[in-house]
Structure formats: structure tokens, C-alpha cells
Amino acid sequence: MVDIAGANLPQGEFFDVICESQHCLPDAVQILTQCTVGNRWLKIVDTSRYALTFYNKYTGDGIRVYLDAKKLQEWPAIRAWFLKEIPKKDQESQQILDEFRRAGTSIYSTAKTTVKPSYITSPGKKRSSIGLCPSCGEAYRTDLGETCPVCQGKSPYL
Ligand SMILES: [Zn+2]
């Protein structure tokens, strides 16, 4: 999917990536490109669809690459895995891998797309300021509220 995106994008521009799945795909992007969750060039927008979008980080224009269910007729093992047609314990992982290798890029489709402005980097954009939370005393981004998100009740902890 990364190869397809690379082949369809202009050279010499800077791209960010949106990954539509939390599972597996983000790791592939992080291994094969310089875009990571940590540097924020990779954003996970969990639609649960098996798709990646590479887009120009300043204009938002890009290409979406997705696993196309319509192209899986010839690939029964991939199809069964992708659509969870049979229980995982009954799937043959070797057969799935073999089909993936033989199918190559033929099972994906692409579409030109433009991302919403909130995903675009504006060159002059000011970084948000950091302050100390008056409630817990830890540093946090002050654009998130009067206190840090945890003190607003959004703690992940029991
Ligand atoms: Zn706090």
C-alpha cells in the first residue's frame, strides 16, 4: 500500500499519512516511512476500514489506498481473513500469507482525495502554550481547558 501511494505521489513534496485502522497498518507505515505517531506525521483515524491516505501536508491533496473487497474473488484465503468469514482458528495463516504474496498490489484500489483542513499543517501555525494545572500541578496544553484533561474527569486510570 505504501508502494502504491509512493508511485502515485509527486516527488519532492512532504506528505502526512492517515491510517484508518488501529490494527497492524500503523506499524507498516512506521517501518516503511518516516511518518510515525510520535512525530505526528502519521495520524490514526479509526474508521475500521483497511486504508491509508498519503497527502500533501500543506494542501491536503493526496491519494487513498484501500484493500478492495471487490478484488478478492480470486483470493479465498485473504477474503475469509479480511471479512472474518470463518473463525480465526480455522484459517490457514500460511495460505493467507501465500495469497498476499501472490496477489501483490492487485487487491488494492486508489482514489484521489483531499483531507479536511484540521489535518493540514499551516506553516505559520503557533504552537499551543503549556501551563501548570492548578489542580494537580502537572504541565499540560492550556488550550485543553482551565485544568488538565485528567482533572476534568478524563483520566484513563481507576
Ligand atoms: Zn490536572
143 and 70, same domain (yes or no): no
CATH assignment of the domain containing 149 = 3.30.60.80
| d(CA 153, ligand 1 centre) in Å | 9
Q: Which residues place a Cβ less than 5 A from the ion ligand 1?
A: 133, 135-136, 147-148, 151
pLDDT in tens, 86-124: 888 888 899 999 999 999 999 999 999 999 998 998 776
63 and 141, same domain (yes or no): no
105: burial class by Cβ within 10 Å (0-12, 13-18, 19+)? exposed
114 and 60, same domain (yes or no): yes
pLDDT at residue number 104: 95
Domain span at 136: 126-158
Of the candidates 126, 109, 127, 125, which has an alpha carbon nearest to the alpha carbon of residue 117?
A: 125
44 and 61, same domain (yes or no): yes
Q: Which residue(s) pair with 111 in the sheet?
A: 64
139 and 107, same domain (yes or no): no
Q: What letter represents residue 41's amino acid?
A: W
Number of separate domains in the chain: 2
113 and 146, same domain (yes or no): no
DSSP 100: H
| d(CA 118, ligand 1 centre) in Å | 26
Question: Helix H segments across the chain?
Answer: 2-7, 25-32, 76-82, 93-103
Region 139-152: what's the mean pLDDT?
A: 96
37 and 114, same domain (yes or no): yes
